[in-house]
Structure 1
Amino acid sequence: MFRLSFLLLATMAGIYAAMMLLGGEDLRAERSVPEPVAVRLPEPTPQPEPTPQPEAAPQPQQAAEPLPQPQQTPEQAPRFPGPALEASPEFAGRAPQADTPAPAASDSPALWVTASRLNMRSAPNGSASVVTGLDGGTRLEPLAPAQDGWVNVRAPGGQTGYVSAQFVSDQPQ
């Protein structure tokens, strides 16, 4: 116990001595604001009064030149250097197929979201996980008739899920 007290006291004395030797200067003195110096301004010299000039005929006003318009930097498409694209081996020798267009919006039946925000769920119940959130007025494609208060729908982004039938309408809002 005596050794521990002695070591503790010796350590504190060493730290105190180091602080006194190395930290003796006043660091706040460097930061102090200097006293303001009084500056004496010269007396203003009196100016002679201008002699009145006869008024000249008014000049027609000229249109001001338009300011130059800033130039907008054109949008640059990123360029990715690399080898040319090739068909994968399983499709070699086959012509590419044209994408089939999606049916027009007026061709298929539609439902519209009547709530300001509606959750599309992965299963037809309120405790199922949320697939996405739909804003009010979003057009949905019904995939099946309503059953037990839920409708299976496809959102504009292609996600499919279930929405509560009480928050959709067959009339746009």
Structure 2
Amino acid sequence: MFNQRIKRERREAAISASLVMRLKEAVQSVLQPGGTGCSSYTGQNSFTGSLGPILGHSDNTNALCNVLEAIFIHGLRDSLGERMSSLLGSDPDRMPVPNFWPVILIISHRDLIEQVSELSFISSEVGRSRAWVRVTVNQGQICSYLSVLLHDTRTLKDYYR
């Protein structure tokens, strides 16, 4: 029992370190000149946020959003339904469901939730979670929301291990 806990803690520490390193690399690749085409171009491939054009569509931008999603998923508790199905004998090697939408509903402004919820081509909470990451990155708000989440210990305890 004690050895399993130590192994789990070491694995969690390694995953956390890897996520931090991947985030650092993704941010650096986006900030490099020519990394995303973040010049004054505001055409179809660029979004305008409060800071002007933030990010366009590129592999670097996609990598940044993927790392941010992984950070939001890391340590996320299973929902009650997922816990019940695991008790009833589901696959022990299953991957976690990448649904952090319930957390977003707590930390986000109502206007942003409505903006993401009104996207007609997104029909699942996982899709809304992914869209939320992209919208907040493009609006330059992702750091604010991460800060809110980190300071909201109740939400962290309720939704994360």
Q: TM-score, structure 1 length as denominator?
A: 0.18
RCO (CA 8 Å, sep 6+): is it higher in 1 or 2?
2
The structure richer in helix per residue is: 2
In terms of Rg, which structure is larger?
Answer: 1
TM-score (norm 2): 0.19
